[in-house]
Structure 1
Amino acid sequence: MWKRVDSSQSGREKMSHSQLMLKKSTLQILPCTVSQLLSASHVGSDNFVISDCELFQVSVVGVVRGFAPFVTFMEFSVDDMTAPPVKVKQWVNSEDCAMMSVASPGSYVKVTGSLRNFNGQRSLLAMNIRCIKDLNEITSHMLEVIQAHMKLPVKEFDVNMNSLVSQSGRFVQSLSTIQDQVIHVIRTFPDQTVGISFDDLRTEMNHLAVADVRSSLAFLLNEGHVFTTIDDYHYKTSV
């Protein structure tokens, strides 16, 4: 189960530095769907957030749709049916390649790693890839996703665990993943005086088609979630 690390916890048992780092890493693994990873807000070179919570290590469960071994790494395509498959890369040595060859297309795997942005395409840099023998683990993972994301700050989620938008304490219309991402980028832009310009918004969301950003922005403006400031090309959020 994912939860925040409480460094001030009393009665904490003494442990070595390496043990502490391992414990911290384990506690910060957030169960996710592929849909959430592909729609997470991109706030830096390799920094992503979901519901205003920064992602560190994440885990996904899905079926292998593609598998390609290379000299120094292996590349997978993992599909959990919530979005298009996500690319997964794992650096390996020759012994690892022989061991991981069992993760053939059609098999279910659990991937633990970190979300990365390679040449504008999101992928998972895997820390561990494990084949799933008991299909009950798929159901268990989805329950963990629901439980973990219900604990994230002040948001509710749809059937694929994508966030709903809160307005005046009530959760209203469910936004699409792109609309939710647009509203997050606008809300967190550093210049809160005049808001974000369309050019800056397009730069922050360069992994998406400009047409998708425009249509999402138009919807948010029409619904009152976003408003213009000094001209028709600077925006702030109303929620």
Structure 2
Amino acid sequence: MVAGFAPKRASNNTLRPVTIRQLINAEQPHPDADFIVDGAELGQLTFVAVVRNISRNATNIAYSVEDGTGQMEVRQWLDSSSDDTQKAAEIRQNVYVRVLGTLKSFQGRRSLSAGHMRAVVDYNEVLFHRLEAIHSHLQITRGTHGAPGTQADAGQGLIRGQPNDIGAYSGSNAQNVLDQYKSLDELPRRIMGIVTQEAENHHDGVHVNHIARILKNVDVSQVKSAVEDLSSEGYLYTAADDDHVLPTA
């Protein structure tokens, strides 16, 4: 890294689509520093890869995965009080998986700590992710300069009912939201629109009470239930705590 160069802060309220090669080549100024990709700090990330080996332990499952650009270990910690074990049973060797998590380094060896992991059922998602990773790289390195189609614009379009197109796993291409969420029921769809819009101003996550206030006439318990379902399906992820959420797209 060039002396005196301060890395850009990637927006913490988005999920960065990457390739494994980008993670292997990511810079880390010192052991406690955030990883840096394309000159931007790397927080939550996602990639699609194929599982080549599985090692099951009492407290976690280690997967060796590769995406054609490189190979990395993904470690998923198991919680006996949840259904993680059942979900892990769906992931097998030579199956493509979608991984959400954070990059870690221990004794010089990099791995991914998975917060969410699921099998890919449509190969189009593999191709889509590769395009998303390219788009994210170009947007960060070249910039958008406030061009139309930003995340805030997409969120406002959802609230106002404007016909925006929506991408499935965009960390930066949120102008494509509607197609992604049109299959959802009305309440989850409205929640996704609100979270997408409000995320820019709530880097620690959008609180469920805040969502309920915007929705009006919807009980907080209903919002919490819908948010939990959206989180388990990979649309949202928890931020500051379980009541603060951000969109994975």
Query: Structure 1 regions of 5+ residues with no counterpart?
Result: 6-23, 156-239
Map 1:155-174 onto structure 2 (within 5 A): none
**What is the distance in 1 between the residues matched to 2:56 and 2:84?**
10
Q: Deviations over 1:124-150 (max 9, x none)?
A: 011110100100000100111111111
| Partner of residue 63, structure 1 | 50
**What is the distance in 2 between the residues matched to 1:118 and 1:103?**
25
1:78 Cα deviation after fit: 1.0
The reply to whether residue 99 of structure 1 matches residue 77 of structure 2 is no
Kept in 1, the 8 Å contact 2:87–2:118? The answer is no
**What is the distance in 2 between the residues matched to 1:154 and 1:98?**
42
Map 1:109-128 onto structure 2 (within 5 A): 109-128=97-116
Map 1:76-225 onto structure 2 (within 5 A): 76-83=63-70, 85-94=71-80, 95-154=83-142
**What is the distance in 2 between the residues matched to 1:60 and 1:92?**
20
Kept in 2, the 8 Å contact 1:88–1:124? The answer is yes
For residues 4 and 43 of structure 1, do their structure 2 counterparts lie closer, same or farther at Cα, with a shift above 3 Å needed? closer
| Partner of residue 29, structure 2 | 43
Kept in 2, the 8 Å contact 1:89–1:123? The answer is yes
Q: In the alignment, residue 57 of structure 1 is paired with which amino acid?
A: Q
Q: Deviations over 1:106-133 (max 9, x none)?
A: 0000101100002210000111101001
1:154 Cα deviation after fit: 4.5
Normalization by structure 2: what TM-score?
Answer: 0.50
Determine what percentage of the aligned residue pairs are the same residue.
33
**What is the distance in 1 between the residues matched to 2:69 and 2:141?**
22
1:100 Cα deviation after fit: 0.6
- Give 3-state SS (helix, strand or coil) of 1:109's partner: strand
Kept in 1, the 8 Å contact 2:17–2:47? The answer is yes
Q: In the alignment, residue 66 of structure 1 is paired with which amino acid?
A: N
Greater displacement, 38-47 / 111-120: 38-47
Query: Structure 2 regions of 5+ residues with no counterpart?
Result: 1-8, 144-249
Kept in 2, the 8 Å contact 1:65–1:79? The answer is yes
Bigger Rg, which one: 1
* Structure with the higher fraction of residues in strand conformation: 1
Kept in 2, the 8 Å contact 1:108–1:131? The answer is yes
